[in-house]
Amino acid sequence: MNLDQIFNAAQQAFLSYKNLSPRKKADFLDKTAEILEENRGAIVMMACRESNLPEGRINGELGRTTGQIKLFANLVREGSWVEATIDPAMPDRTPLPRADIRRMLRPLGPVVVFGASNFPLAFSTAGGDTISALAAGCPVIYKGHPAHPDTSKFVGSCISQALEKCGLPAGIFTHVEGGVKMGQDLVKHPQTKAVGFTGSYSAGKSLFNIASDRDQPIPVYAEMGSVNPIFTFPQRLKNELLPLAQNYVNSLTLGAGQFCTNPGLIFVPKALAEGFKNAVSQTITQVAPAPMLHEGIAESYYKALNELQLRSELNWVKVPDAQHLINASPSLAEISVQDWLKDDKFQEEVFGSFALMVIYDHADELTHVAKHLHGQLTITLWGDPSELQEQEDLISLLEEKCGRLLFTGVPTGVEVGFAMQHGGPFPATTDSRSTSVGAHAIKRFARPVAYQDMPVSLLLDELKDENPLGIMRLLNGKWTS
């Protein structure tokens, strides 16, 4: 099939899929999870081979993927996510009667999804973007990631199998393959209504530009990563020096540092810098070089480090071991806060387990840092309750720069739940009003439609007076179920 045929099939499928009952939509999602689980052995073997990630991790990631699918199945089955809002008619209102107006979220239409190399399952073919779009009622055209083509195709066939078993049109999910040109053509296609993307800044931003330049601009939800700064404060750092150093190194080197929430930037008070540096340094040297996703990524990691090595502002605490094929070793450099503030280059993400440790003299300097900081997925503050209390203004500034603020643990390990926000101000994402992880991700692929004086026989169940689905609704401005 050529692209026009693929989109015509998707659009045709959309007309029935968008009106499918929540229960049947949920059943299809559950069936997808079930088929993935049935094929666990094959999927894990393929994904390990193609990603170089260890079996334990991939096994866990498949569990995360099917858990995520079940979360959306339950969300759709429950049904309240559509924000049903009903203002009943007031025929006797003066000076003018009020019409009956009922509003709910409706799916956008065909969605194009690009997966991530670093999560061959959870952020790829049957990952959060695809599943939340399907849950919203949108057909998905998914472009397989060239870093794991077999896994992508196989998982795609599991989704298609689930559609078939549920008696739903095949056009609801299509797996396509191709390079940059294919990606651009998908975003340019007039029938595309939205785009989900996880990956690099350059790729995400270029898709955003294409989408904005279309005759009909469309939303692009591109999650492009960030450096996820951690701010440490003296009292807590002093009290928990070793465990915090250990936690930090664990988070930094997890999965060879290939996470969008990898904490590549840490602010440390000068008085404790030596101690923390030593603790981190001791731990980090024990971390063996780990294979990265593919040679291109390892090459980019070392290239970025070589560029930084030319910068006189940096003092290297742990120089990376020489590159050996696809393997990358963690590395760490320090810089003064004054020097860090002088060049935006020091805010750029180095994809991999590299950290920049910024030494500050006094917490006052962090106000400048906060104002200077680019948008982030996460920002972490490690301080005792008393010292955090003194940083209310700083916290208020930092809140404007991220989607998630953490106060104890590390930013890696993004919980899939109702309250998760995985998205932040540009350049972390192209749309800070959305999340790509957690239940709220479904709302990216829907828009509100109001029905005025619609005959009862045409109303969707979500908007009927008797509330047959028993969902939470805003009726006359009051929440009711």
The smaller minimum CB distance to its own copies, of residues 83 and 240, is found at 83
The CA distance from 69 to 76, in Å, is: 11
Q: Is position 56 an interface residue for its own copies (rule: CB under 8 A)?
A: no
The CA distance from 403 to 261, in Å, is: 11
The smaller minimum CB distance to its own copies, of residues 323 and 391, is found at 391
Near its own copies by CB under 8 A: residue from 67, 164, 182, 209 = 209
Q: Provide φ and ψ at 103, rounded to 5°.
A: -130, 140
Q: Which of residues 414-453 bind its own copies (CB under 8 A)?
A: 415, 417-421, 423, 425-427, 430-433, 435, 439-440, 446-453
Q: Is position 36 an interface residue for its own copies (rule: CB under 8 A)?
A: no
158 is catalytic: no
Near its own copies by CB under 8 A: residue from 309, 399, 465, 468 = 399
Q: Is position 347 an interface residue for its own copies (rule: CB under 8 A)?
A: no
Q: Which of residues 377-396 bind its own copies (CB under 8 A)?
A: 385, 388-389, 392-393, 395-396
The smaller minimum CB distance to its own copies, of residues 292 and 379, is found at 379
Near its own copies by CB under 8 A: residue from 25, 31, 64, 102 = 102
Backbone region of residue 352 per phi and psi (left: phi > 0; alpha: psi in -120 to 50; beta: other values): left
Q: Is position 94 an interface residue for its own copies (rule: CB under 8 A)?
A: no
Q: Is position 409 an interface residue for its own copies (rule: CB under 8 A)?
A: yes
Q: Is position 257 an interface residue for its own copies (rule: CB under 8 A)?
A: no
Q: Which of residues 60-89 bind its own copies (CB under 8 A)?
A: 74, 80, 83, 85-87
Taking only Cα atoms into account, the Rg of the chain, rounded to an integer number of angstroms, comes to 24
Q: Is position 103 an interface residue for its own copies (rule: CB under 8 A)?
A: yes
Q: Is position 216 an interface residue for its own copies (rule: CB under 8 A)?
A: yes
Single-letter code of the amino acid located at 25: K
Nearest distance from C-beta of residue 325 to its own copies, angstroms: 32
Single-letter code of the amino acid located at 430: T
The CA distance from 128 to 160, in Å, is: 17
Nearest distance from C-beta of residue 229 to its own copies, angstroms: 15
Say which of 223, 334, 349, 462 is annotated catalytic: 223
The CA distance from 463 to 481, in Å, is: 12
Q: Are strands 194-198 and 402-406 parallel, antiparallel or unpaired?
A: unpaired
Near its own copies by CB under 8 A: residue from 31, 64, 106, 143 = 106
The smaller minimum CB distance to its own copies, of residues 453 and 466, is found at 453
Q: Is position 171 an interface residue for its own copies (rule: CB under 8 A)?
A: no
The smaller minimum CB distance to its own copies, of residues 4 and 295, is found at 4
Say which of 48, 138, 158, 260 is annotated catalytic: 260
The helix-helix angle for 270-285 and 241-253 (nearest 10°) equals 50
260 is catalytic: yes
E strands in 284-413: 290-291, 315-318, 327-328, 331-336, 354-360, 376-382, 402-406
Q: Which of residues 114-153 bind its own copies (CB under 8 A)?
A: none
The smaller minimum CB distance to its own copies, of residues 328 and 460, is found at 460
The CA distance from 450 to 466, in Å, is: 18
- For residue 306, CA distances in Å to 116, 262, 320, 321, 331 come to 25, 20, 10, 12, 12
The CA distance from 90 to 128, in Å, is: 42
Nearest distance from C-beta of residue 386 to its own copies, angstroms: 10
Name residue 378's beta-bridge partners: 404
Q: Are strands 446-452 and 101-107 parallel, antiparallel or unpaired?
A: antiparallel
Q: How many residues bind its own copies (CB under 8 A)?
A: 80
Pick from 398, 381, 362, 174: nearest CA to 271: 362
Q: Provide φ and ψ at 283, rounded to 5°.
A: -70, -45
**Residues classed as catalytic:** 223, 260
